[in-house]
Amino acid sequence: MIALGFAAGLPYLLIFSTLSAWLRDEGIERSVIGFFSWVSVTYSIKILWSPIVDKVRLPILTRFLGQRRSWMLLAQFGIIAGLIGMASADTHTQLATIAGCAILVAFCSATQDVSIDAFRIESSVTEYQGAMAAMYVLGYRLALLVAGAGSFYIAEFFDWHTAYFAMAAAMSFGVITTLCLRSPAAENTFKKLEKTTFLNQVRDAIIHPFTDFFARQGRLGWLILLLIAIYKMSDVTMGVMANPFYLDLGFNKKEIAEISKIFGFFMTIAGAALGGVFVVRYGVMRPLLVGAIATASTNLLFAALANTKPDLTLLAGVISADNLSGGFATAVFIAYLSGLARSGYTATQYALFSSLMTFPAQLLGGFSGIIVDRFGYINFFIYASLIGLPAIFLVFWFWRRELAELKT
């Protein structure tokens, strides 16, 4: 799971905050950078093709690698191609090319996420999903360290193009991992699917995952989907402007890499480990509430940071709090989502959950550059904190409802 998390996490920053830093370092306007963040919306609409990943067998590849690994491998080669395309383009004359290649990376990365999530859930029983999620987050965060601090260091001593070429080479770890894995036993369901008619295949791939979810959850399913849609809204919205914010404050790329990426990495791992322990000890709902409160609250620290002169100690303190709460909330939330999916429809259902998790925030994030230009960083971070309040109230309601059911 550490290795798969690494393969999943590496492309994300390269089309999100690292790309924002690259563009800002090249003098691209913040409003344009904000719109570039819409590339990551691709992650949020992966539900549209997740039934294909769930059920469609790839020629030759599926025969040798199985359903999950064949799609993982195809997606990884697509990511490598997209990163090479971004690295080969000029930011001042070929922004459209960079955007197109970023979309390719995002599409293939989202496809890889669908197959990895299904592989993870189908490879372990429910009792171990918390630990699996924690290890996945560890690998994911290792990749963020490489794509974040690694890219910043390479860009500082060479240039951004070299950094992206290096990241394309780093994706080879994902390829090697995929080739060395064994397929989960649950993949025998695809053999049964091949014997049905085309209409039954369409129904089983597209309709049944949704009817199955609402059959199990009833009317509560809509509130669950609403919670998924707003839980990470505060965190994702803030992340679009994080690196431009550090650069505009006066920190250089080396300082950002050391404090935000390396030091912040260890705080995130500590938060993820703490989240995994809390899920085992207290269940999911109480840690989920703690994570929602902490994530929204830490954005206020960035608002305070925006009102000070550049100070590495203060920056380290704010990033420590933010990454600790972010790692905690992410590990707990992944465990929560994993418990909602059912084997047989794992890829489609989990893709629905993870798509809803980021889509509203990414839409709002596209306007973050405009908000910063018009109202300043302080008001932007206060705004990012306030939009986390609905998630806190909804998690609290679910928790109280769970306690009431246990008493009866």
Residue 407 lies inside a defined structural domain of this protein: no
SS3 91: coil
Residue 408 lies inside a defined structural domain of this protein: no
CB–CB of 272/141 below 8 Å? yes
pLDDT at residue 235, as a whole number: 84
Tens of pLDDT, residues 286-295: 999 999 999 9
pLDDT at residue 73, as a whole number: 93
Q: Which residues contact 267 (CB under 8 A, 6 or more apart)?
A: 319, 320, 323, 324, 327
Stretches in the chain below the pLDDT threshold 70? 124-130, 185-206, 342-348, 351, 408
pLDDT at residue 175, as a whole number: 92
pLDDT at residue 138, as a whole number: 82
pLDDT at residue 108, as a whole number: 94
pLDDT at residue 39, as a whole number: 86
Which helix (DSSP H) or strand (DSSP E) does residue 152 occupy? helix 151-157
CB–CB of 368/34 below 8 Å? yes
HSE-up (13 A, CA, CB side) for residue 90: 3
Residue 358 lies inside a defined structural domain of this protein: yes
pLDDT at residue 190, as a whole number: 47
SS3 15: coil
Distance CA 163, CA 329 (A): 30
Tens of pLDDT, residues 172-207: 989 998 998 887 765 655 444 454 554 565 566 567
Question: In the block, which residue shows the tokens 């996490």?
Answer: 9
pLDDT at residue 165, as a whole number: 95
CATH number of domain containing 51 = 1.20.1250.20
pLDDT at residue 193, as a whole number: 46
Closest CA to 237 of 365, 358, 355: 365
Distance CA 266, CA 259 (A): 10
Q: Look up the domain containing 229 and give its range.
A: 2-201+210-402
pLDDT at residue 345, as a whole number: 66
Determine the residue type at 228.
I
**362's tokens:** 């990414």
Residue 158 lies inside a defined structural domain of this protein: yes
How many structural domains comprise the chain? 1
CB–CB of 344/273 below 8 Å? no
Distance CA 87, CA 8 (A): 20
Residue 182 lies inside a defined structural domain of this protein: yes
In angstroms, the Cα distances linking 267 to 92, 258, 318, 325, 387 are: 36, 13, 11, 9, 24
Residue 377 lies inside a defined structural domain of this protein: yes
Q: How far apart are the first and last CA of the chain?
A: 38
Q: What is the 8-class DSSP label of residue 56? A: P
Residue 170 lies inside a defined structural domain of this protein: yes
Encode burial over 258-288: b for 16+ CB neighbours within 10 A, e otherwise: bbbbbbbbebbbebbbbbbbbbeeebbbbbb
